[in-house]
């Protein structure tokens, strides 16, 4: 059996681990779980570390459980939060749970007949009929308030520096998560909980609850919270989170995020976010260090993660789209882009509106009168005749060329290019 802990160690994916966990896992196939609160209808790349750990767990011959927190999602985890989050209604949570289920299927084998096939559980199933009185009597009496307040997630919110404080609802989250671990230990034989470093307090509350209730030993393993070398938050852009849902973050934008990470981050991320083996990764890092300007490591990272999340076809589309701005792409390749990718590729370029009724239109009038691509027809004539103008990636050198409806892409766009790097989108309205 492959050593799960050793696999995570060389990848830099262990922050804390309880004594005896590694020895326990080497005895034979074991079960472990990761909890995900369904606060949105898509996972984002901040979730990926925990999900990748589950994937490695399964690859090492163990049985992974993905727990979607239909119940705890109604409360909200205070860990690493400065203020209480908005609570979601049951219908919204149900929708989010279904969406997350589908995304997890890209990483884990849920459907095979293998004894270590992954299993998805929802803590709403065992919490929905558990009354407050019974929970307080059965579980609440086992963990002291002193113990709960010693956890960093609680202390930070109750410190003098915090103006928000903490509601009883949030305070109870720790106990509810601990109960999840106890429930899965009793009903599924799960002896290990996995999660981010910010979850250590919640997870160890679970191990303590198991010890006090059953007199048994359970284990915890957490991974580091991923940071960027410049100190900014991982997985965030100016537009917000990088989502796994292609409707929220296009495969092109997703690919670009990984392609543009710093060199130091690329060396760290390729170990964490890909399934490439140690030899391949170390060779790729060495190759990159020899010639960082080629950004070969970023290209490999972006390829592997994009294929894992979106598949080969979307990776190929993202690669073609990336070449659009800087490569020798063709009109045919441009027209293959879907609207969302097209707008993502050319995000931020100047745009002009031209009524469809004004087409066909002479190229010089189109570029200098109907739009502001050129400040004058004279400049437009000079650059067009010199081969510096393209419409939809097709070079136009004839100053008598008529821009017409045949040049419209997706029924609404024309892409004009001036020189090598100056692009303009014309919206045909």
What is the SS3 assignment for 187-210? HHCCCEEEEEHHHHHHHHHHHHHH
Residues 6+ apart with CB under 8 A from 320: 329, 333, 336, 337
Let me know if 39 is a catalytic residue.
yes
Where are the strands (E) in 112-255, listed by range?
Answer: 119-122, 192-196, 219-223, 236-237, 240-241
**Rounded Cα distance, 361 and 395, in Å:** 17
Judge whether residue 12 has pLDDT over 80.
yes
User: Which candidate, 223, 169, 215, 164, places its Cα nearest to that of 195?
Assistant: 223
* Per annotation, catalytic residue among 85, 119, 295, 340: 85
Could you tell me the two tokens for 363?
């190229």
* Per annotation, catalytic residue among 217, 237, 280, 330: 237
pLDDT value at residue 82? 43
For 310, phi then psi, to 5°, come to: -115, -10
User: Which candidate, 126, 136, 153, places its Cα nearest to that of 71?
Assistant: 126
pLDDT value at residue 77? 55
**Rounded Cα distance, 386 and 331, in Å:** 20
What pLDDT band is residue 163 in, cutting at 50, 70 and 90? low
* Per annotation, catalytic residue among 15, 211, 236, 336: 236
**Rounded Cα distance, 404 and 408, in Å:** 7
Query: Parallel, antiparallel, or unpaired for β 63-68 and 31-36?
Result: parallel
Show the domains of the chain with their CATH numbers. Answer: 4-223 (3.40.50.620), 236-345 (1.10.240.10), 351-428 (3.10.290.10)
Specify which residues 352 forms β-bridges with. 426
Find the range with the poorest average confidence among 10-14, 119-123, 169-173. 169-173
First to last CA, the chain: 63
CA 421 to chain centre: 30
Let me know if 169 is a catalytic residue.
no
Could you tell me the two tokens for 387?
């081969």
* Per annotation, catalytic residue among 106, 109, 119, 198: 198
pLDDT value at residue 80? 45
Let me know if 237 is a catalytic residue.
yes
Cβ-count burial of 13 within 10 angstroms (0-12 exposed, 13-18 middle, 19+ buried)? buried
State the average pLDDT for the chain. Answer: 89
Let me know if 228 is a catalytic residue.
no
Judge whether residue 364 has pLDDT over 50.
yes
Let me know if 156 is a catalytic residue.
no
* Per annotation, catalytic residue among 18, 72, 177, 306: 177
What pLDDT band is residue 149 in, cutting at 50, 70 and 90? confident
Let me know if 44 is a catalytic residue.
yes
Output the pTM of the full model: 0.82
Let me know if 151 is a catalytic residue.
no
Report how far apart, in Å, the C-alpha atoms of 135 and of each of 73, 130, 131 are. Answer: 18, 7, 6
Cα 384–385–390 angle (5° rounding)?
A: 30
* Per annotation, catalytic residue among 15, 44, 340, 382: 44
Q: Are 49 and 272 in contact (CB under 8 A)?
A: yes
Let me know if 236 is a catalytic residue.
yes
Q: What is the mean pLDDT of residues 312-327?
A: 84
* Per annotation, catalytic residue among 81, 101, 156, 211: 81
High-pLDDT (> 70) share of the chain, %: 93
DSSP one-letter code for 44: B
What pLDDT band is residue 79 in, cutting at 50, 70 and 90? low
Element (H, E) at 362: strand 361-362
pLDDT value at residue 75? 67
pLDDT value at residue 268? 96
Does the CA dihedral 179-154-76-55 come out positive or negative? negative
Name the residue with tokens 């559980």.
Answer: 121
What pLDDT band is residue 152 in, cutting at 50, 70 and 90? confident
């Amino acid at each position: 059996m492959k050593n799960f802990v050793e696999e995570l160690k060389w990848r830099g994916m262990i922050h804390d681990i309880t004594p005896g966990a590694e020895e326990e896992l080497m005895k034979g196939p074991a079960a472990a779980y990761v909890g995900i609160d369904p606060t949105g209808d898509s996972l984002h790349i901040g979730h990926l570390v925990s999900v990748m750990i589950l994937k490695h767990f399964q690859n090492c011959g163990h049985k992974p459980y993905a727990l979607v927190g239909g119940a705890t999602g109604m409360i909200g985890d205070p860990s690493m939060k400065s203020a209480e989050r908005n609570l979601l209604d049951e219908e919204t949570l149900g929708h989010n749970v279904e969406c997350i289920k589908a995304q997890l299927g890209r990483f884990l084998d849920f459907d095979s007949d293998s004894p270590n096939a992954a299993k998805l559980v929802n803590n709403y199933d065992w919490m929905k009929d558990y009354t407050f009185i019974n929970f307080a009597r059965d579980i609440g009496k086992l963990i002291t308030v002193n113990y709960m307040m010693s956890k960093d997630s609680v202390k930070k919110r109750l410190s003098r520096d915090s103006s928000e404080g903490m509601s009883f609802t949030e305070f109870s989250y720790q106990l509810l998560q601990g109960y999840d671990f106890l429930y899965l230990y009793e009903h599924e034989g799960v002896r290990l909980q996995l999660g981010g470093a910010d979850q250590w307090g919640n997870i160890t509350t679970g191990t303590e609850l198991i010890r006090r209730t059953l007199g048994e030993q359970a284990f915890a393993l957490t991974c580091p919270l991923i940071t960027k070398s410049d100190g900014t938050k991982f997985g965030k852009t100016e537009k917000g989170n990088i989502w796994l849902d292609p409707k929220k973050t296009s495969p092109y934008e997703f690919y670009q995020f990984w392609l543009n990470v710093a060199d130091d981050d690329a060396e760290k991320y390729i170990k964490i976010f890909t399934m490439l083996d140690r030899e391949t990764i170390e060779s790729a890092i060495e190759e990159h260090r020899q010639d960082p300007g080629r950004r070969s490591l970023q290209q490999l990272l972006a390829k592997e993660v994009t294929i894992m999340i979106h598949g080969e076809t979307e990776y190929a589309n993202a690669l073609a789209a990336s070449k659009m701005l800087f490569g020798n792409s063709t009109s045919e390749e441009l027209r293959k882009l879907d609207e969302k990718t097209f707008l993502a590729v050319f995000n931020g370029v100047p745009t002009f509106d031209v009524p469809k009724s004004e087409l066909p239109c002479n190229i010089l009038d189109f570029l200098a009168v109907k739009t502001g691509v050129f400040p004058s027809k004279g400049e437009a004539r000079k650059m067009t005749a010199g081969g510096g103008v393209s419409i939809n990636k097709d070079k136009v050198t004839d100053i008598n060329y008529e821009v017409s409806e045949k040049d419209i892409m997706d029924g609404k766009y024309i892409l004009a290019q001036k020189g090598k790097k100056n692009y303009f989108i014309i919206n045909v309205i």
